Amino acid sequence: MQIRLTDIIAPSFYGVHHAVKNDRATHFLLGGGRGSTKSSFVAVEIIVGMMRDQQANAAALRKVKDTIRESVYEQLLWAIEKLGVAHLWDVSVSPMRIMYRPTGQTIIFRGADNPRKVKSGKLRRGYVKYIWYEEADEFSIEDIRTINQTFMRGGDSFRVFYTYNPPKSRKAWVNEYKNNPPEGWFVHHSTYLDVPREWLGEQFFIEAETLRQRNELAYRHEYLGEDVGTGGEVFRNLTLRRISDEEIKAFDRIKRGLDFGFASHPTHYAVMHFDRTRNRLFIFYEIHKVGMSNRALADAIKTENKSNTRVTADSAEPRTINELRNLGVNVVGAKKGPDSVEHGIKFLQDLNEIVIDPVRCPNTAREFEGYELEPDGNGGWKEGYPDRDNHSIDAVRYALESEIRGPAISFK
């Protein structure tokens, strides 16, 4: 009996299937909640893909080796059974391996406790075309880069799958990539509501509804796969979206701020529009670079700021400010005062909306979205705001100096 893919792939994944089949992307970031069938989908794609391409092998990874057998290994066996092709595959546990009998193509399994020690091993034929990171949020982006460099060789067409339930922290790399995907990445989100009811069973839906009624935030995180946050997010009024050229042309309250870098810290220049009437901020241009000379910075600012309107910069660097002035930049130092960081951040928090264009300003979007209070180890948060990964936030505070009202309209 011939099995149709539509019988084992949920409708929400049809578009992803066509993207995989037609080489529309290399990296597939597949997030979702419980029961979304994202892992089932990837297992089916790998088995079908290997049977169609005699040069294709696969690697399935978990961060912790001991979790492989109960997750990716079992999921791939499920796909083989569902496709009705068990007679064509050899499976073994020690060593853990799945092999396609007609050609010797292999699925290998690796734990990535130490990513630098992950090896591809000797393949009978072809190359590792498919790479699957299950619970991808457990890996760091550095882990993934190292492992991909190991496997992505010897071929000219790759499919890398990242399946995960979104972690609460919005600064997790999977959440950042979901909101601002790099070129060549296909992003997809799915939930149990996209899956035929009979596939999951009635009890699954009962459990989901019970949690929704008792704890909606937990339901949204666990079943809908939303990155609801940890509770320590500093800015909860963010909107990440493209800001069109037409919108920018209409902006008439442009502000510019500059935070100087040092050593390995980047210099950050920010350009924004402040809509005082609607209490909204639009950030649409950035320069974010380590090791930038003052002359290069001045040239870049003058290229953007053709009217040479005022730029408000960190006054802790008077020598740099003077040099930029000598190079033709209309720059002034921000004022000093006690509790300036707190007052500036409170001003930003009280805005109705902070709109950031994640394509024009990827570093600004990353820093604002990932800026969180530090845990105190007892379920609460430490006082004060962390002084790290906040270069864009400082630049924005400086730019808005004249808009901040209160007893301390100043910055440090």
Calpha distance 180→240 (Å, rounded): 9
Secondary structure E strands in 217-253: 238-240
* Token couple for 234: 């500093």
| pLDDT of 3 above 90 | no
Q: What is the pLDDT of residue 230?
A: 67
Instruction: Please tell me the distance from the alpha carbon of residue 324 to that of residue 269, in angstroms, as a whole number.
Output: 13
Q: Residue 74 has what pLDDT? A: 96
Q: Domain-by-domain residue ranges, the chain? A: 5-211, 238-403
- C-alpha distance across the termini of the chain, in Å: 72
Which pLDDT band, with edges at 50, 70 and 90, does 10 fall under? very high
Using one digit for the tens of pLDDT, what is the confidence trace for 173-198? 898 899 889 988 999 999 999 999 99
Q: Catalytic amino acids? A: 135
Q: What is the CATH class of 238-403?
A: alpha beta
| pLDDT at residue 145, rounded to an integer | 94
Fold held by 5-211 = Rossmann fold (3.40.50)
pLDDT digits (tens, 9 = 90+) for 282-298: 999 999 999 999 999 99
Q: Is the pLDDT of residue 341 over 80?
A: yes
Round the average pLDDT of the chain to a whole number and report it: 91
For the stretch 118-157, pLDDT in tens is 887 788 899 999 999 999 999 999 999 999 999 999 999 9
DSSP string, 317-375: -HHHHHHHHHTT--EEEPP--TTHHHHHHHHHHTSSEEEE-TTT-HHHHHHHHH-BPPB
Q: What predicted TM-score, i.e. pTM, was given to this entire model?
A: 0.67
- The two domains 5-211 and 238-403 share their CATH topology (first three levels equal): no
pLDDT, position 26? 97
More confident residue, 391 or 167: 391
Location of structure tokens 């630049």 = 395
